[in-house]
């Protein structure tokens, strides 16, 4: 398995993976233009290194993407400054349940630990909560700005 940092040259693949992920999670009222604009927004943040992002690939092709950062007060999605936050992990549908999501989480947590970050959090909606619990995250009783519960884990 190889991880590739998101860069200008892989926008098409990032868009393909992210579009499948967001299209699945959105209701049919969300226009493709809105989803495309959000994907471009996240991609640009990753390319400008405002957040970290990578794609994962193996012999079968590209399997998924992840976006994360170290939370800070001036960050648009800030909830707990100083903590790591996993913004998105999107796995191609045919590879879900293979352990790839857990590998991504481990990869990100290792990256955060290398920068002396002691905790990481996510804001997860219903179906994803079981995945995050399986990865060791637990609700902390707070809600994110988007109304979803915050799930946190000590990673030191």
Q: How far apart are CA 10 and CA 134, in angstroms?
A: 31
pLDDT tens for each residue of 87-133: 999 998 888 888 999 999 999 999 999 999 999 999 988 788 999 99
Pairing of strands 119-123, 149-154: antiparallel
Predicted TM-score (pTM) of this structure? 0.92
């Amino acid at each position: 398995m190889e991880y590739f940092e998101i860069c200008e040259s892989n926008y098409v693949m990032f868009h393909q993976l992210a579009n499948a992920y967001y299209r699945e999670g959105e209701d049919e009222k969300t226009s493709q233009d809105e989803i495309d604009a959000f994907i471009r927004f996240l991609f640009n943040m990753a390319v400008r290194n405002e957040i970290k992002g990578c794609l994962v690939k193996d012999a079968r092709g590209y399997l998924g993407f992840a976006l994360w950062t170290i939370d800070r007060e001036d960050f648009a999605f800030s909830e707990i400054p100083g903590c790591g936050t996993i913004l998105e992990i999107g796995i191609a549908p045919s590879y879900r349940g293979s352990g790839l999501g857990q590998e991504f989480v481990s990869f990100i947590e290792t990256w955060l630990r290398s920068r002396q970050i002691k905790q990481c959090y996510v804001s997860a909606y219903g179906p994803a909560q079981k995945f995050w619990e399986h990865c060791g995250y637990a609700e902390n009783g707070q809600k994110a700005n988007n109304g979803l519960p915050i799930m946190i884990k000590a990673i030191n």
